[in-house]
Amino acid sequence: MGNKGFSALRLVSCLAFFIVTRNIVHGDLSYSIPEEMKRGSVIGNIAKDLGVDLRTLASRKARVDFEGTQNRYCDMTLNTGDLITSERIDRESLCGKKPSCVLKVDLVLENPLELHRVSLHIQDVNDNSPKFKKNLIEMEIRESADKGNRFSIEEAHDADIGQNYVQRYILQKNDNFILTVDSNKVELVLENTLDREKQKEMNLLLTALDGGSPQRSGTVVIHVTVLDANDNAPVFSQAVYKASLPENSPPDTVVITVSATDADEGINGDVTYDFGHMSDDDVHLFSIDPKQGRIAVSGLIDFEETSSFEMRIEAKDGLGLTSYAKVIVDVTDINDNAPVIYLKSLTNPIPENVTPGTEVGIINVQDRDSEKNKQVHCSIQQNVPFKLVPSIKNYYSLVTTGQLDRELVSEYNITISATDEGSPPLSSSKTVQLSVADINDNPPVFEEQSYSAYVTENNKPGSTLCSVTARDPDWRQNGTVIYSLLPGEVNGAPVSSYVSVNGDTGVIHAVRSFDYEQLRSFKVQVMARDNGSPPLSSNVTVSVFISDVNDNSPQILYPALEGNSFMTELVPKVAHGGSLVSKVIAVDADSGQNAWLSYHIVTSTDSGLFTIGVHSGEIRTQRDISESDSMKQNLIVAVKDNGQPSLSATCSMYLIISDNLAEVTELKDIAYDEKNSKLTSYLIIALVSVSTFFLTFIIIIMGVRFCRRRKPRLLFDGAVAIPSAYLPPNYADVDGTGTLRSTYNYDAYLTTGSRTSDFKFVTSYNDNTLPADQTLRKSPSDFADPFEDFETSEVGAF
């Protein structure tokens, strides 16, 4: 038949067979398709037939799976949901002679795992012609053969099944033979006796026809030689022999022995055996001993390949008369296949924050053996936060059982073991490496709860104060720590004008030189932040303690140094020894030892007359005043602090021993004598002598003015009234010793106002960072105020 015609007819037959039947039993699908469909032919629309949303096919990783490592006969197009053929499906090579040929396909969907069994019933197509084993059959028949004698002919074979198998035979018309076909037995029957003298030999054409559409046929030529005498054909002891054979039987294992007897004697009774028709695959698996009829194994018998064999055996006597028998060999299964573990899907790496119970992998286990040998148990090791959950058929889900923590375990080697139920059982294992992916779930943690830094004042800007360290066990940028200062204020200035932190190392530097007298300690907040997104952070407090350095000299508040004016004390002539005469008041902006003041008289007009309390600064008479004592007494007092090295200040104190205010007028001269040059004195004397009246007038004016300034003082033992104007508001003479405590040294500078040069003002550090209003608040007009107060209170007290 022409190739073109054949394929056209085949198409018709395909269409005829293409009756797609759909049976959804337990969610299973079944399609019936003809074999030999063109590659890419649509078998059916799985998505529609299962009711699966087309759009989810891709995301659910829909795919077809075949048991074992067979060829992929069909595939799925994800955009249409069609099941299509992807390879030639030849029913004959798939199923041989089996009356029904079913190809099992698994349709796998993930998330959740879903398995659908699709059965493809492969329908036979008449694509094989009947075939005789040989093209020529030689026969020798004696001319004496009787009418009605039968001569076996080996039947024709057809790889197709059913209607497509051999249905009938046609024998070429001839004078002597007719054909009888009876249950697989094809025989020539002698109808008219042979006459060797008339015809020595003849050729008969035998045609075998199948029932397919189109019909196919095969032919053989039977060459009959007519001999002189007659004979008997061999006869098998059984028409069908059955044997059972374990798979993997070694070569030379005897399967069965067939035997045929021939009634003839001599050469005519010698029977030889041979195989009849056999499929190409089976030809090398068995051998037959031509003399003994012993069938033995000669190749590898694999139950998984073929579970039963059917062979035709031919017995032939010396003259070429043959007869046939059938041998059916059933192969029994041996547990010779270990289970095979297939990893069908795996999420790797797994984020560490997956909830327990998340499916991370799908495993399929297959065993090619049958029955018990195919029953497989699957497990994984115990000490991992994963378990295998049996799913459908031989599918398992690998599921997390607990919280994962990459910082504890970043990788798991999961060993899956599968064991079948054969005896002995076979097992196999597969190791799956799973990594855990980082999630930014750990904030940086400081190594200490809080940090303290100690620095002595007058430090260099930029000097290191301390360093903070925070650790973050996360991976890469999720664990990279960056340090920064949290915004805040110290004394009203941004904290960044005090300290800075190195973002990478956490080292904290001073930005400015600190002054203990202004600031003894402060706190800053340092944040450690990782680089994740979103980032996590921790805060820590760093306390900076500034320690004192003796950098301030004692400050003498009383007696005040007021240019050329006089600060004098009146000492009554009647004062007894030990009377309190005056007091030196000094403060020191430092603290502790650095502010522990001691008072000493450095020089005095009369060294025996006055003494000073070392720590109180109180000036007392040492003895009773006598008339011989000079009226004017000068003391130079040094005030020292206890620092290392110590700093000091000195002041002069003028004491007038007098009961009479009038005498004080002379004091000015005395003072001027002391202070001014002699020339000035002479000048004054000259002036006095020139105009006494004018001088007297001036003296009166001067006297009045002096009296206004020098208020006569009432002296009591043990109590000295110090003018309150001399004391700054924040100072309090707490213990009566005259050592003043400053509650806030910085303010002391601002309010005493004794020397403008002593104003240590904060703006000098950071002029440009202070807000404008603050700068304004400390404007010189502010400083003027204390002076005014000073003046008015002084006048008012008079």
Ligand X SMILES: *[C@@H]1O[C@H](CO)[C@@H](O)[C@H](O)[C@H]1NC(C)=O
Least Å distance, CB 47 to ligand X, is: 34
Binding of residue 527 to ligand X (CB under 6 A): yes
Structure tokens at 486: 């949290």
> Smaller CB distance to ligand X: residue 477 or 677?
477
CB atoms within 10 A of CB 430: 15
> Smaller CB distance to ligand X: residue 537 or 793?
537
> Smaller CB distance to ligand X: residue 305 or 411?
411
For the chain, state the CA radius of gyration: 63
**How far apart (Å, rounded) are the C-alpha atoms in residues 444 and 8?**
77
**How far apart (Å, rounded) are the C-alpha atoms in residues 576 and 753?**
36
Annotate each residue in 418-447 with x if it binds ligand X (CB under 6 A) or - if it does not, as one string. ---------------x----xxx-------
Binding of residue 709 to ligand X (CB under 6 A): no
> Smaller CB distance to ligand X: residue 433 or 622?
433
**How far apart (Å, rounded) are the C-alpha atoms in residues 581 and 551?**
32
Least Å distance, CB 384 to ligand X, is: 10
Least Å distance, CB 479 to ligand X, is: 9
> Smaller CB distance to ligand X: residue 126 or 440?
440
Least Å distance, CB 406 to ligand X, is: 8
Annotate each residue in 619-658 with x if it binds ligand X (CB under 6 A) or - if it does not, as one string. ----------------------------------------
Annotate each residue in 167-186 with x if it binds ligand X (CB under 6 A) or - if it does not, as one string. --------------------
Interacting residue with ligand X among 475, 498, 516, 610 (CB under 6 A): 475
Cα–Cα distance list, 746 to 499, 552, 727, 759 (Å): 21, 12, 15, 9
> Smaller CB distance to ligand X: residue 475 or 522?
475
Q: Is 439 exposed, middle or buried (0-12, 13-18, 19+ CB in 10 A)?
A: middle
Least Å distance, CB 429 to ligand X, is: 13
Binding of residue 352 to ligand X (CB under 6 A): no
Structure tokens at 229: 């005498």
Structure tokens at 495: 């904290």
Q: Can you list the positions of beta strands (E) in 333-448?
A: 340-346, 350-351, 359-366, 376-380, 386-390, 395-400, 411-420, 427-437, 445-446
C-alpha closest to that of 312 among 251, 250, 260: 260
Least Å distance, CB 362 to ligand X, is: 21
Interacting residue with ligand X among 170, 486, 687, 797 (CB under 6 A): 486
Binding of residue 538 to ligand X (CB under 6 A): yes
> Smaller CB distance to ligand X: residue 351 or 736?
351
Options 34-42, 373-381, 533-541, 547-555: segment touching ligand X (CB under 6 A)? 533-541
Contact yes or no for 13/34 (Cβ under 8 A): yes
Least Å distance, CB 615 to ligand X, is: 48
Cα–Cα distance list, 265 to 228, 233, 259, 274, 578 (Å): 16, 12, 16, 21, 173
> Smaller CB distance to ligand X: residue 215 or 531?
531
Interacting residue with ligand X among 72, 242, 476, 615 (CB under 6 A): 476
* 3-class SS of residue 495: helix
Interacting residue with ligand X among 477, 603, 660, 691 (CB under 6 A): 477
Question: What's phi and psi for 689, nearest 5 deg?
Answer: -70, -30
Least Å distance, CB 525 to ligand X, is: 6
> Smaller CB distance to ligand X: residue 207 or 358?
358
Eight-class DSSP state of 25: B
**How far apart (Å, rounded) are the C-alpha atoms in residues 99 and 94?**
12
Q: What is the amino acid identity at position 144?
A: S
> Smaller CB distance to ligand X: residue 94 or 437?
437
CA 160 to chain centre: 60
Interacting residue with ligand X among 293, 532, 554, 738 (CB under 6 A): 532
**How far apart (Å, rounded) are the C-alpha atoms in residues 514 and 56?**
69
> Smaller CB distance to ligand X: residue 283 or 486?
486
Binding of residue 479 to ligand X (CB under 6 A): no
Binding-residue total with ligand X (CB under 6 A)? 16
**How far apart (Å, rounded) are the C-alpha atoms in residues 784 and 776?**
14
Angle CA 74–79–84, to nearest 5: 20
Least Å distance, CB 527 to ligand X, is: 5
Provide the β-strand partners of residue 116. 107
Least Å distance, CB 738 to ligand X, is: 48
Q: What is the amino acid identity at position 248?
A: N
Binding of residue 134 to ligand X (CB under 6 A): no
C-alpha closest to that of 229 among 178, 179, 268, 177: 268
Interacting residue with ligand X among 298, 537, 648, 766 (CB under 6 A): 537
> Smaller CB distance to ligand X: residue 315 or 528?
528
Contact yes or no for 333/365 (Cβ under 8 A): no
- Could you give the strand order of the β-sheet that contains 150-153, starting from the edge strand earlier in sequence? 150-153, 185-190, 177-182
> Smaller CB distance to ligand X: residue 247 or 472?
472
**DSSP codes joined into one string, 424-449:** S--EEEEEEEEEEE-------EESSS
Task: List the interface residues with ligand X, window 393-422 (CB under 6 A).
Answer: 411, 413
Least Å distance, CB 352 to ligand X, is: 9
Binding of residue 478 to ligand X (CB under 6 A): yes
* 3-class SS of residue 716: strand
Residues that bind ligand X (CB under 6 A): 411, 413, 433, 438-440, 475-478, 486, 527, 532, 537-539
